Amino acid sequence: MRKWLGFAFAIIIADHLTKFWVSSMLDYQEAIPVLPFFSLVRVHNTGAAFSFLADAGGWQRWFFIGVGVIATVIIVRLLKQHANEPRLAFSLALVLGGALGNVIDRVVLGHVVDFLYFHYRSFAWPAFNVADSAITVGAALLIWDSLRGKPAAQKTS
């Protein structure tokens, strides 16, 4: 269990170090092209994924903090139950670290700092951060893990 909580903590540290670096290097909404399809940009997201509810008037900050806290409690309980299942525990730790990384931003700043911006011609993916990436990869791995099922030896125990 400690290993997985330590991994989640490492995600939080990486998330906040990158957000701090971007915030100290770029002004709000400033962008630096890195590749023809990728830029670093500093934006503040008061909503959820894809800026969902970003213009809701402020209540969404507390709503998303509450969702993050509830998710944290559930994930920690799941980690406790499945600490000896590496695929599942790794996935849960990714989601936990990402969720807490963004919750900390919401509590301290009132918004989440996003900075990874992929685009091509008229197509642009909304900016995101390390925490968002961890949540996405963790969720994808959880889905993959659930589709793969457990080996027969584990099903009988």
Measured CA to CA, the distance from residue 47 to residue 125 in angstroms comes to 16
* Structure tokens given for 28: 């709000």
Q: Which of 93, 92, 102 is nearest to 15 (CA)?
A: 102
Which residue is it, tokens 């890195």?
Answer: 34
Residues involved in catalysis: 114, 132
SS3 128: strand
Q: Any residues with CB less than 8 A from the CB of 113 and at least 6 apart, and which?
A: 19, 22, 23, 42, 43, 44, 45, 105, 129
Amino acid at 127: A
